[in-house]
Structure 1
Amino acid sequence: MKFADFFPGQVIDAGPYLLTQEELVAFARAWDPQWFHTDAAAADNGHHQGLISSGWQTCCIAMRLVALAALEGSESFASPGLNYVKWRHPVRPDDSLHLRATVLEVRRSSTKPDLGIITWRWQLFKQANVEVLDLEATSLFKLSNT
């Protein structure tokens, strides 16, 4: 999507994305090697009673879904960050995830006319519409001066 295609109140749905146990554990071993992400036997006896995904992996899945559904082919080039990120419920192996991105604000920079700015809320859900991730992101778009 191009910057001009975004508008406040717009909802973009994407997914599903099926997270396998192999992918969950491989990500955790590389990036978040805590036992409740990497050791199924130990995790079965832990607080969550089974393996759970790293919250950072959950964010990566949301990013992938947003990139494929909305940012691919756009003028997007960066993000200055997130206003908040909340992991509402754990993600487990074989969860099927889908994304709802709601555009909150679309504007051009008042000081840089070739800069477009979008603020949007990304929510990731698993089965039974259980919310697992809620974040608010800002995306920057390089626009022509015309």
Structure 2
Amino acid sequence: MRHFEHFPVGSTYDLGVTRLTSEDIVRYARDFDPMPFHLGPEAAARSPFGGLVASGWHTGAVVMGQFVRTLLADSACHGSYGMDEVRFLRPVRPGDQLRGRAVVEEAAPHSRRPDTGTVRFVVEADNQHGDTVHRMRTRLLFGRAVAEIRSAGL
């Protein structure tokens, strides 16, 4: 299990790759972001994008899924303060492969909770061409390993 101490500043984590299909894009858009350029190729062709593109929120959800599965699910994460920045930098199209990465930008003990630390991550995704398509900054709370050892009476 990863604790606060496992996230030193500058650490970089590969979050894996997810390929988006036209079906993925349309399914997400129907439920969560029904803009015409996300729903089908005909309307999308007439848009400024010139074709079907994923919702930025869909891209963010994919990258968040990578982040959770790779780093957070097996950690002492106590939640998040939210996101300080979310950017949809380039359109994501059917067939794009999103490779996520997380970089620790800041890490510090919590000012009022000695058993907790805060970690600010920059989480990004690149497409298969190496273009960064998504970026978010988020600050998370993690239990400290030292606190866990103390609470176990060791």
Is TM (by shorter chain) over 0.5? Answer: yes
Give the counterpart letter for 1:130 in structure 2: D
Are residue 23 (structure 1) and residue 24 (structure 2) matched? yes
Tell me the equivalent position of 1:95. 96
CA offsets, 1:29-76, max 9 Å, x none?
000011010121110121101111111111111111111111121011
Which position in structure 1 is the counterpart of 2:122? 121
Determine if the alignment matches structure 1 residue 2 to structure 2 residue 16: no
Which stretch of the first structure deviates more once superposed, 1-10 or 28-37? 1-10
In the TM superposition, what are the counterparts of 1:1-146 in structure 2 within 5 Å?
Answer: 1-3=1-3, 4-143=5-144, 144=147, 146=150
Measured on the aligned residues, the alpha-carbon RMSD in Å equals 1.3
Bigger CA radius of gyration: 2
Q: TM-score, normalised by structure 1?
A: 0.94
Q: Residue 129 of structure 1: SS of its match in structure 2?
A: coil
1:133 maps to amino acid:
H
SS in 2 for 1:26: helix
Corresponding letter in the other structure for 2:12: V
Distance in 2 (CA, whole Å) between partners of 1:57 and 1:113 is 36
| Count of residues in correspondence between the two structures | 146
Flag structure 1 segments of 5+ consecutive residues without an equivalent. none
**SS at 1:133's partner residue?**
strand
CA displacement at 1:127 relative to structure 2: 1.5
Report how far residue 77 of structure 1 moved. 2.7
Q: Which runs of at least 4 in structure 1 moved beyond 4 Å after TM superposition?
A: none
Partner Cα distance (1:129, 1:93) in 2: 16
Q: Distance in 2 between matches of 1:132 and 1:61?
A: 12
1:91 positional shift:
0.5
TM-score by length of 2: 0.89
